[in-house]
């Protein structure tokens, strides 16, 4: 059996193939010529062997249902790319920007409301893929016929989202580094406003949005840490009984392990979390943190089947009434 290989092309596009020559194994970052649906394409190897097999998903799990067909076998890697192949590939990439401008002109002539983000030639020029974004559905059938007559090849228009567009085109984020989605973050997971709220970040869109105009993907990186750390602290707005008296929790600092408190008479103060817990326990109370509430809920007795267990005395009285000679039943 051949070696499974992950090959990446322009942007974030990738596919999986098989390298048949086990005597001369393929290596990561090597350029290769692969067989695709309509012709041949050139890409670079990014994973091989067991790693590529796991990322591929095993392919045997693709079939679902009783009448599912056998999964299609992976196409082969034809050969390693030569210097001439790489030269042709470079010339094609340089020509794609000019192609994009021509496509934009045809889009305008057809009065279509769509933004052409990128174009990608297949290595053998048998197919031209055009990536675009649009707010609504676009009827581009006439445009496809026009472009096919212009470039004399098969045309594929593919609509993508703004996050996928940013991943393909790349750029520099507000951190000063290249977009995560263009470098190492290959799977774009959902990001919602609740992640920013849990981290107490500013909800100003200009401060928590990326180059794509959507919420920053990095909001999810440390979210689990923030949620776990805040479980040890009392909630903001909670009133606690401490050595000073009744104090309201104004804010918490999870990095310095501090709590900001305010008393109507004594004013505000900042104390460590350990000191606050000690003051509360000395007064016979328990610090009302999410961690403590979870512990109490786990220790609480659980009802059995939602019905209380009958008492022993009632059961015994019921048995005595059923016995012969009891006051409830006359004897024959």
pLDDT tens for 110-148 read 999 999 999 999 999 999 999 999 988 889 999 999 999
Q: What's the angle, vertex CA 271, arms to CA 267 and CA 272, rounded to 5?
A: 165
Write the pLDDT tens digit of every residue in 259-310. 999 998 889 999 999 999 998 888 888 887 766 666 666 666 665 555 555 5
Domain range for residue 42?
Answer: 3-60+73-81
- Indicate whether 97 and 149 sit together in one domain: yes
The answer to the question of residue 331 being in a domain is no
Domain count, the chain: 4
The answer to the question of residue 304 being in a domain is no
Percent of the chain predicted with pLDDT > 70: 82
- Indicate whether 92 and 152 sit together in one domain: yes
- Indicate whether 143 and 174 sit together in one domain: no
The answer to the question of residue 308 being in a domain is no
Q: What dihedral do alpha carbons 34, 92, 179, 228 form, nearest 10°?
A: -10
Write the pLDDT tens digit of every residue in 290-301. 666 666 666 666
The answer to the question of residue 20 being in a domain is yes
Longest Cα separation, the chain = 114
- Indicate whether 186 and 145 sit together in one domain: no
Write the pLDDT tens digit of every residue in 8-29. 999 888 899 999 888 888 899 9
pLDDT score recorded for residue 285: 82
The answer to the question of residue 303 being in a domain is no
Q: What's the angle, vertex CA 116, arms to CA 112 and CA 119, rounded to 5?
A: 135
- Indicate whether 154 and 209 sit together in one domain: no
pTM as predicted = 0.69
**Last residue of a domain, which of 11, 46, 81?**
81
**Last residue of a domain, which of 107, 139, 160?**
160
Higher pLDDT, 55 or 196: 196
- Indicate whether 156 and 169 sit together in one domain: no
The arithmetic mean of pLDDT across residues 242-257, rounded, is: 90
Phi/psi-derived region of residue 166, left when phi > 0, alpha when psi is between -120 and 50, beta in every other case: alpha
The answer to the question of residue 55 being in a domain is yes
Q: Which residues contact 42 (CB under 8 A, 6 or more apart)?
A: 9, 31, 32, 33, 34, 81, 85, 86, 89, 123
pLDDT score recorded for residue 307: 54
The arithmetic mean of pLDDT across residues 248-252, rounded, is: 91
The answer to the question of residue 322 being in a domain is no
């Amino acid at each position: 059996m051949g070696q499974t290989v992950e090959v990446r092309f322009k942007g974030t596009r990738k596919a999986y193939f098989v390298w048949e020559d086990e005597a001369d194994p393929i290596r990561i970052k090597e350029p290769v010529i692969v067989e695709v649906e309509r012709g041949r394409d050139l890409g670079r190897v990014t994973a091989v062997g067991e790693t590529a097999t796991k990322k591929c998903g095993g392919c045997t799990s693709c079939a679902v249902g009783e009448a599912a067909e056998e999964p299609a076998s992976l196409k082969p890697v034809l050969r390693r790319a030569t210097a001439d192949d790489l030269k042709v590939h470079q010339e094609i990439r340089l020509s794609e920007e000019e192609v994009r401008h021509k496509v934009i002109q045809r889009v305008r002539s057809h009065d279509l409301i769509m933004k052409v983000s990128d174009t990608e030639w297949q290595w053998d020029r048998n197919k031209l893929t055009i990536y675009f974004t649009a707010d609504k559905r676009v009827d581009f059938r006439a445009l496809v016929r026009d472009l096919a007559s212009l470039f004399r090849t098969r045309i594929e228009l593919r609509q993508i989202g703004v996050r996928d567009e940013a991943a393909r085109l790349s750029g520099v984020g507000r951190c000063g580094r290249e977009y995560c989605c263009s470098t190492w973050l290959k799977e774009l997971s959902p990001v919602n406003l609740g992640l920013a709220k849990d981290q107490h970040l500013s909800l100003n869109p200009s401060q928590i949005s990326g180059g794509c105009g959507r919420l920053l993907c990095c909001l999810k990186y440390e979210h689990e840490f923030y949620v776990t750390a805040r479980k040890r602290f009392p909630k903001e707005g909670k009133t606690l009984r401490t050595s000073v008296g009744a104090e309201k929790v104004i804010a918490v600092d999870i990095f310095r392990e501090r709590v900001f408190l305010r008393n109507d008479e004594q004013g505000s103060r900042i104390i460590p979390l350990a000191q606050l817990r000690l003051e509360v326990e000395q007064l016979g109370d328990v610090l009302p943190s999410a961690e403590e509430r979870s512990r109490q809920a786990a220790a609480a007795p659980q009802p059995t089947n939602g019905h209380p267990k009958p008492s022993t005395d009632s059961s015994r009285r019921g048995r005595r009434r059923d016995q012969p000679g009891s006051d409830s039943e006359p004897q024959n």
